[in-house]
Structure 1
């Protein structure tokens, strides 16, 4: 019976070690200065194609002033903005 708490603790520690925090998530990224590779690496669920679309929209707008402007990017919706919003800086 002492084995079960050990396994539970081991599983919990493994889950925490693989959490997004261990991959640098939570670090902020300035969408007005970052390149596509930086955006794709920093934002969960944003790959190279979406990152390029973000850059294209940024160029079209002359820079982002509101995070909700990202809704114009195909594949980015409210849930994505809620997930990555705390990481985004617009300066």
Structure 2
């Protein structure tokens, strides 16, 4: 009986861990795919509309408007890393969206 219970516990532990591993592998795959996006499919920060910006991961209406407001007040973006100067966008957010945007 103890062997049966022990075996069930081991199987349960493995079953619980399996979806987590698969989810992480899936996430890594999507990051690799986005990093290889051709430049013509990326969004230009200097010409993007609110509608285009909200398609970026983690960017909603308010962040999209903040990007455009920054662009209007400061001038065109010179590099993608400059996004961290926009209110509400930090290094973590930049790492999520930098492979989807470019500066021409």
Q: TM-score, normalised by structure 2?
A: 0.59
Q: Does 1:35 align with 2:28?
A: no
Cα distance in 1 between the residues matched to 2:50 and 2:30: 20
Aligned Cα RMSD in Å? 2.3
Cα distance in 1 between the residues matched to 2:47 and 2:30: 23
- Moved beyond 3 Å, runs of 4+: none
Q: Does 1:51 align with 2:60?
A: no
Find the counterpart in structure 2 of residue 74 from structure 1.
Answer: 87
Give the drift of 1:83: 1.1
Deviation string, structure 1 residues 39-88 (Cα, Å, up to 9, x no partner): 112x1000010000000101112210022221122221101111110111
Cα distance in 2 between the residues matched to 1:86 and 1:45: 13
Q: Which runs of 5+ in 1 are unaligned?
A: 1-7
Q: TM-score, normalised by structure 1?
A: 0.67
Give the drift of 1:20: 6.3
1:88 and 1:52, CA in 2 relative to 1: closer, same or farther beyond 3 A? same
Q: Which has the larger radius of gyration?
A: 2
Cα distance in 1 between the residues matched to 2:51 and 2:75: 20
Q: Which runs of 5+ in 2 are unaligned?
A: 1-17
Find the counterpart in structure 1 of residue 100 from structure 2.
Answer: 87
Count, aligned residues: 73
